[in-house]
């Protein structure tokens, strides 16, 4: 029987260092065991045995021999990103995406399914579990290789408990134990976070790995921002950092927002608001707005550019405050041509301080639709590939093999 993850909480003295040695290989550079001994300062005998353990666990692979000036060529080892797999799940108001990824967040297979906005968490996660099991099976029975699940939810999340807090788009989910429920189906670490935080993480880790300060803006029905500062995701005290949608914009003092206030950014620049401003009707046709914008329709482009200026007026303050080097913009209205981005650039470069914009790049999302699941997988990868998590994974594997181990309490 597989031990519960609570059973092996503390790394064992005999195992430690495998997790530490693994960290040196995560950059993907192949190294010989001698080079690793020099790099880490550990005894060669330690390196030899731990590399073997990591290779047996599928985390490290032999990548051929190093050139040698004489004597026996030395075998080189490198991180094996496809040796184990992760699941990234992005829950939306009416659509959920499940992706199977490798350990660096590259998608192996993905599937999405629609559900009514009234669907409860057990219904959505039971269907996600079935889809995930299909993905694991259809890609070569990889269930045994699964080491973590990351989940993004459309709203604030109490991260330590893995529970949503008052999701505006999913009523009835408040306080549901998402991590606990999903780990019953998949007994591996399950981490839950706000979807825009995960999109920021996915975009930065995948496309801007050398950028330590990045803001990710998503403009859909709401407007949200994920903040990466000094290389780390910033969630704020209660997980609601970056909620730009209800920041007041001077121009909209007569625009009533769903939250009850007037002049909120999302009441002016959210995708449904822009679509309504075009037709003048209460019905929002965002799909039509995208088509018109892509065609270069003058009225649509003008409305989109104004939405960009409104977003820019709030974003300029964020740029002054946080000094990012990259701002990434995503969401349906960004797909409607370049007018939104042009409006954002116009205001941010005019209103932010010169020092904050001297080397600022404002770009469209490169990951677009997959960024949420890539980010969910990236979040859980960081957790399960940490030194302690690696030690625990190796210890659990030994327990499964029936090998005697001493577990410290
Ligand atoms: Zn509001």
Residues 356 and 396 in one domain: no
Ligand 1 centroid vs 261 CA: distance in angstroms?
5
Ligand 1 centroid vs 316 CA: distance in angstroms?
19
Which is more confident, 252 or 1? Answer: 252
Give the pair of three-digit tokens for residue 97: 């995406």
pLDDT at 402: 56
pLDDT at 170: 82
Residue 255: left if φ>0, alpha if ψ -120 to 50, beta else—which one? Answer: beta
Q: Residues 125-164: pLDDT tens digits?
A: 999 999 999 999 999 989 999 999 999 998 888 877 888 8
Residues 71 and 97 in one domain: no
- The answer, yes or no, to whether residue 16 has pLDDT greater than 70, is no
DSSP 8-state code for residue 122: H
pLDDT at 283: 78
The mean-pLDDT minimum among 5-14, 108-117, 172-181, 213-222 falls in: 5-14
Residues 222 and 176 in one domain: no
DSSP 8-state code for residue 67: P
Number of domains in the chain: 3
Q: Give the Cα separation of 232 and 214 in Å (integer).
A: 10
pLDDT at 363: 94
Ligand 1 centroid vs 24 CA: distance in angstroms?
47
Ligand 1 centroid vs 267 CA: distance in angstroms?
7
Confidence of residue 343 (pLDDT cuts 50, 70, 90): very high
Ligand 1 centroid vs 271 CA: distance in angstroms?
14
pLDDT at 14: 46
Ligand 1 centroid vs 51 CA: distance in angstroms?
54
Residues 144 and 225 in one domain: no
- Identify the three-state secondary structure at position 214: strand
Ligand 1 centroid vs 268 CA: distance in angstroms?
10
Confidence of residue 408 (pLDDT cuts 50, 70, 90): very low
The angle subtended at Cα 319 by Cα 242 and Cα 335, nearest 5°, is 70
The answer to whether residue 12 is domain-embedded is: no
Instruction: Name residue, tokens 């590259």.
Output: 106
Ligand 1 centroid vs 160 CA: distance in angstroms?
27
The answer to whether residue 1 is domain-embedded is: no
Residues 149 and 167 in one domain: yes
The answer to whether residue 379 is domain-embedded is: yes
The answer to whether residue 77 is domain-embedded is: yes
The answer to whether residue 277 is domain-embedded is: yes
Q: Give the Cα separation of 328 and 347 in Å (integer).
A: 15
Q: What residues flank ion ligand 1 with Cβ within 5 A?
A: 246, 257, 259, 261, 264
Q: What CATH number is given to the structural domain containing 275?
A: 3.30.420.40
What mean pLDDT, rounded, does the chain reach?
Answer: 88
Residues 107 and 239 in one domain: no
Residue ranges making up the domain that contains 301: 209-366
Over residues 321-340, the mean pLDDT reads: 92
Side-chain-side CA neighbours of 368 within 13 Å: the count stands at 7
Long-range contacts of range 47-52, CB-CB < 8 Å, 24 or more positions apart?
A: 47/21, 50/17, 50/18, 50/21, 51/21, 51/77
Ligand 1 centroid vs 203 CA: distance in angstroms?
27
The answer to whether residue 170 is domain-embedded is: yes
pLDDT at 337: 85
* Structure-derived torsion over alpha carbons of residues 221, 223, 229, 232, reported in degrees to the nearest 10: -20
Ligand 1 centroid vs 222 CA: distance in angstroms?
9
Over residues 34-47, the mean pLDDT reads: 91
Question: How far is the CA of 230 from the CAs of 23, 56, 97, 239, 343, in angstroms?
Answer: 20, 35, 29, 18, 28
- Identify the three-state secondary structure at position 75: strand
The answer to whether residue 3 is domain-embedded is: no
Ligand 1 centroid vs 256 CA: distance in angstroms?
8
The mean-pLDDT minimum among 157-171, 175-189, 206-220, 374-388 falls in: 157-171
Ligand 1 centroid vs 341 CA: distance in angstroms?
23
Tell me how long the chain is: 409
Residues 217 and 164 in one domain: no
How many CB atoms are located within 10 Å of the residue 150 CB? 33
- The answer, yes or no, to whether residue 23 has pLDDT greater than 50, is yes
- The answer, yes or no, to whether residue 311 has pLDDT greater than 70, is yes
- The answer, yes or no, to whether residue 68 has pLDDT greater than 80, is no
The angle subtended at Cα 269 by Cα 265 and Cα 274, nearest 5°, is 145
Residues 155 and 192 in one domain: yes
Residues 74 and 96 in one domain: no
The answer to whether residue 408 is domain-embedded is: no
pLDDT at 366: 85
- The answer, yes or no, to whether residue 276 has pLDDT greater than 80, is yes
The angle subtended at Cα 314 by Cα 310 and Cα 320, nearest 5°, is 140
Residues 45 and 98 in one domain: no
List, in sequence order, every residue forming a beta bridge with 224; answer none if it has no partner: 218
Residues 194 and 215 in one domain: no
Ligand 1 centroid vs 263 CA: distance in angstroms?
7
Q: Residues 289-300: pLDDT tens digits?
A: 999 999 999 999
Sign for the pseudo-dihedral over CA of 68, 60, 135, 116: negative
Q: What CATH number is given to the structural domain containing 55?
A: 1.10.10.10
Give the pair of three-digit tokens for residue 154: 């459309």
Q: Could you give the strand order of the β-sheet that contains 326-330, starting from the edge strand earlier in sequence? A: 232-234, 223-229, 214-219, 326-330, 361-364
Residues 220 and 166 in one domain: no
Across 145-256, the runs of DSSP E, i.e. the strands, are: 146-153, 157-158, 163-164, 190-194, 214-219, 223-229, 232-234
pTM listed for this prediction:
0.85
């Amino acid at each position: 029987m597989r031990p519960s993850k609570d059973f092996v909480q503390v790394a064992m003295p005999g195992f430690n260092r495998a997790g530490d040695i693994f960290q040196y290989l995560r950059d993907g550079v192949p190294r010989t065991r001698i080079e690793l001994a020099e790099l880490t300062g550990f005894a060669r005998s330690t390196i030899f045995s731990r590399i073997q353990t990591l290779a047996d666990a599928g985390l490290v692979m032999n990548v051929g021999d190093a050139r040698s000036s004489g004597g026996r060529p030395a075998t080189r080892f490198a991180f094996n990103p496809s040796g184990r797999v992760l699941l990234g799940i992005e829950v939306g108001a009416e659509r959920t995406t499940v992706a199977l990824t490798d350990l660096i967040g590259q998608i192996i297979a993905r599937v999405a399914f629609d559900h009514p906005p009234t669907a409860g968490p057990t219904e959505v996660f039971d269907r996600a579990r079935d889809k995930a099991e299909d993905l694991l099976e259809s890609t070569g029975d990889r269930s045994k290789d699964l080491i973590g699940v990351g989940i993004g939810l459309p709203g604030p999340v109490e991260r330590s408990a893995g529970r949503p807090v008052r999701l505006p788009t999913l009523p009835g989910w408040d306080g549901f134990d998402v991590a606990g429920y999903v780990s019953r189906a998949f007994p591996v670490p399950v981490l839950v976070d706000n979807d825009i935080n995960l999109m920021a993480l996915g975009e930065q880790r995948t496309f801007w790995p050398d950028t330590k300060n990045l803001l990710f803006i998503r403009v859909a029905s709401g407007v949200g921002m994920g903040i990466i500062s000094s290389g780390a995701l910033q969630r704020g005290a209660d997980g609601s950092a970056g909620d730009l949608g209800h920041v007041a914009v001077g121009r909209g003092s007569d625009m009533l927002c769903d939250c009850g206030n007037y002049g909120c950014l999302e009441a002016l620049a959210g995708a449904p608001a822009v679509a309504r401003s075009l037709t003048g009707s209460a019905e929002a046709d965002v799909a039509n707005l995208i088509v018109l914008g892509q065609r270069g329709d003058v009225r649509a482009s003008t409305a989109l550019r104004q939405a960009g200026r409104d977003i820019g007026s709030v974003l300029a303050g964020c740029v002054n405050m946080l000094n990012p080097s990259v701002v990434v913009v995503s969401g349906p209205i960004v797909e409607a041509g370049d007018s939104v981005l042009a409006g954002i650039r116009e205001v941010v470069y005019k209103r932010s301080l010169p020092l904050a914009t001297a080397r600022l790049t404002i770009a469209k999302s490169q990951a677009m639709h997959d960024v949420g699941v890539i980010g969910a997988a990236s979040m859980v990868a960081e957790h399960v590939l940490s030194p302690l998590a690696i030690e625990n994974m190796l210890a659990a594997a030994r327990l499964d093999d029936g090998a005697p181990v001493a577990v410290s309490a």
